[in-house]
Amino acid sequence: MTIPNDTTFLNMTRERWSVRKFAPEQISDEHMARILEAGRNAPSACNYQPQRVLVLQSEEAIAAVRSVTHWAFNAPTVLLVCADLTESWKNADGADSAEMDATIALDHMMMEAWECGVGSTWVRGFDERVMRQVFSIPASWKIVAMMPMGYPAENANPSSWHFRRKSLEEICQVL
């Protein structure tokens, strides 16, 4: 299945679905640059920009991530998104913005990927302790999520979950 080219933002939010089956071609350099740039442009608390992105593409790195989780699928690229806790804003009530900041960056990258015709899935189905060890992630970084990505396989399709969205009444309250 190809990604539709109506890329107004609202349409993308409606039509984007989690791609879990990929064509073998690697993502082009131009598309990769655009995706990473979208993550760089993300807002962050106090503009501290604690997001850290590992781009896994080598045969060795892809084999390593597949050894940690089967949710890497057959993607030719996997982003591992972390947040540097030494560089994130802490609120007076103790709340740390690190995970929010990294999450926003990942969401920006997911949407830009879609705009480029690159499919992805947000994945948290892995053991953070194992992932940390395999990729020697510093203790001061929180591993937030990973995103297998690539051009969708011809027979890739959305899962049934994609079509289940709660109504606005269920998720919003106007006070």
Ligand X SMILES: Cc1cc2nc3c(=O)[nH]c(=O)nc-3n(C[C@H](O)[C@H](O)[C@H](O)COP(=O)(O)O)c2cc1C
> Any idea what DSSP says for residue 3?
P
Nearest-angstrom CA–CA distance, 4 and 16: 9
Q: How far is the CB of 29 from ligand X (least distance, A)?
A: 26
Residue nearest to ligand X (CB): 125
Q: Which residues bind ligand X (CB under 6 A)?
A: 17-18, 20, 71, 121-125, 158-159, 161-162
Cβ atoms within 10 Å, residue 163: 8
Compare residues 71 and 151 and give the one whose CB is closer to ligand X.
Answer: 71
Q: How far is the CB of 98 from ligand X (least distance, A)?
A: 15
| Closest-CA residue to 102 (of 54, 68, 33, 135) | 54
3-state secondary structure of 70: helix
Q: Could you identify the residue written with the tokens 């892809």?
A: 62
Compare residues 40 and 162 and give the one whose CB is closer to ligand X.
Answer: 162
Compare residues 11 and 159 and give the one whose CB is closer to ligand X.
Answer: 159
Q: How far is the CB of 126 from ligand X (least distance, A)?
A: 7
Nearest-angstrom CA–CA distance, 55 and 143: 14
Compare residues 47 and 171 and give the one whose CB is closer to ligand X.
Answer: 171
